[in-house]
Amino acid sequence: MKLAIMGSGGDAPGMNPAIKRFVEYAKERGHEPYFIYDGLEGLIDGKIERASYKDVAGIIHRGGAIIGSSRSKRFYEKRYREQAYKNLQKQGIAGIVVLGGDGSFRALDVLSREFEIKFVGIPTTIDNDIYGTDYCIGVDTALNVIRDAVDKIRDTASTFSRAFVVETMGRECGYLAAVTALTSGAEVCVIPEVEFNIKAATRILKEEIENGRRYVLAIVAEGTKRTKGIAAWLEEDLDMETRITVLGHIQRGGNPTVKDRLIPFGFVVEAVNRLIEFKKNGVVTYKDGKYGFLDIETVTKNRYQIDPDILKLLNFLD
């Protein structure tokens, strides 16, 4: 059987280890591995090639994805989805492993409903916002990149007695900001999931500043759109010279950590097994230290929520 792997949407560290294991394991199971290059756009344009061991040699330590990724407006039109399916037929592809997030899974679900193609998704997003899984590929590396940056920012903040507002990625999910705030000892955390108690924060921080506090670290998730507002609050209400640091796309890059090299192996093995023993489209999950599987409807119709125990540990949240 011919099986293909593709990336879709934003990239994440750990995609290359997953791609490497896909080629190795597909061959171990006696099947032919293929690459779909450049995501949905490449699927439409027929960028599908057979993969070999040589293609994945020496990639496990690299960030990004050697097969590329993309977002595609064309895929919203059925004529392009039909073109994508014909390209799969031409190559004889029977099933696809998709490294992506919720939007990627929805796109492949539409394709599979219209045409005869099966797929299994692997949660791949630094936002860690896929329902049913504790862990998505790329999260650990992103958190470590952020931790390193915040630790360095703290050095200059304490030296100059400044406040720093650090914006992390996370359009609708504050996971990166919440975990970063906890593990960096930040005084302020602002995320979409919970209202920030600015009155309590003002009172407590003013007392601490009067008693000798020299700096403040505020971690803000981009989805709140409050980065500038929090900086203004620190300047005006707490009378602290304030700087903003938007970490941006560095959070998606870098060599994958050990965790982001090892866990993708298990994701891929489960995904390939599910395609070979196919029963339904779905997404591989990692929960309570074990790999599992959820059907696509369950994943796409439910919303991920941050562990309440994490939220309870954050300061100044109601």
The topology (CATH level 3) of 139-253 is Rossmann fold (3.40.50)
pLDDT tens-digit profile of 160-202? 999 999 999 988 899 999 999 999 999 999 999 999 999 999 9
Catalytic residue among 11, 102, 127, 260: 127
Say yes or no to pLDDT of 282 above 90.
yes
Residue 318 pLDDT class (50, 70, 90 cuts): low
pLDDT tens-digit profile of 54-70? 999 999 999 999 999 99
Residue 154 pLDDT class (50, 70, 90 cuts): very high
Average pLDDT over residues 12-21: 98
Q: What is the spatial distance between Cα 51 and Cα 316, in angstroms, rounded to a whole number?
A: 51
Q: DSSP code of 62?
A: -
Q: What is the spatial distance between Cα 12 and Cα 7, in angstroms, rounded to a whole number?
A: 10
Average pLDDT over residues 242-248: 97
Say yes or no to pLDDT of 316 above 80.
no
Average pLDDT over residues 13-21: 98
Place of tokens 């409903």: 113
Say yes or no to pLDDT of 148 above 70.
yes
Domain assignments of the chain as residue spans, ordered by start: 2-138+256-303, 139-253
Q: What is the spatial distance between Cα 11 and Cα 64, in angstroms, rounded to a whole number?
A: 6
The topology (CATH level 3) of 2-138+256-303 is Rossmann fold (3.40.50)
Say yes or no to pLDDT of 21 above 80.
yes
Residue 153 pLDDT class (50, 70, 90 cuts): very high
Average pLDDT over residues 226-238: 97
Place of tokens 């690299």: 62
pTM over 0.85: yes
**Pairing assessment for the beta strands 163-168 and 216-221 based on DSSP bridges:** parallel
Say yes or no to pLDDT of 317 above 90.
no
pLDDT tens-digit profile of 127-146? 999 999 999 999 999 999 99
- Per-residue model confidence (pLDDT) at position 314: 85
Say yes or no to pLDDT of 315 above 90.
no
Residue 127 bears catalytic tag: yes
139-253 shares the fold of 2-138+256-303: yes
- Report CA-CA distances (Å) from 282 to 108, 109, 126: 10, 9, 20
Quote the mean pLDDT of the chain: 96
